[in-house]
Amino acid sequence: EYKFSESGLYYCPKAETQEEFLEYLKGLPLSPGPEVFGMHDNCDITCAQGETTQILNAILAMSSKTSAGAGRSPEEVMDE
Q: What are phi and psi of 44, to 5 degrees?
A: -60, -40
pLDDT for the residue numbered 74:
75
How does residue 69 score in pLDDT terms, banded at 50, 70 and 90?
Answer: low
Contacts of 64 (CB under 8 A, 6+ apart): 74
Distance CA 13, CA 3 (A): 10
pTM of the prediction?
0.50
Q: How confident is the model at residue 16 (pLDDT cuts 50, 70, 90)?
A: very high
Confidence tier at 68 by pLDDT (50, 70, 90): low
pLDDT in the model for residue 31: 84
The pLDDT score that the predictor gives to residue 54 is: 96
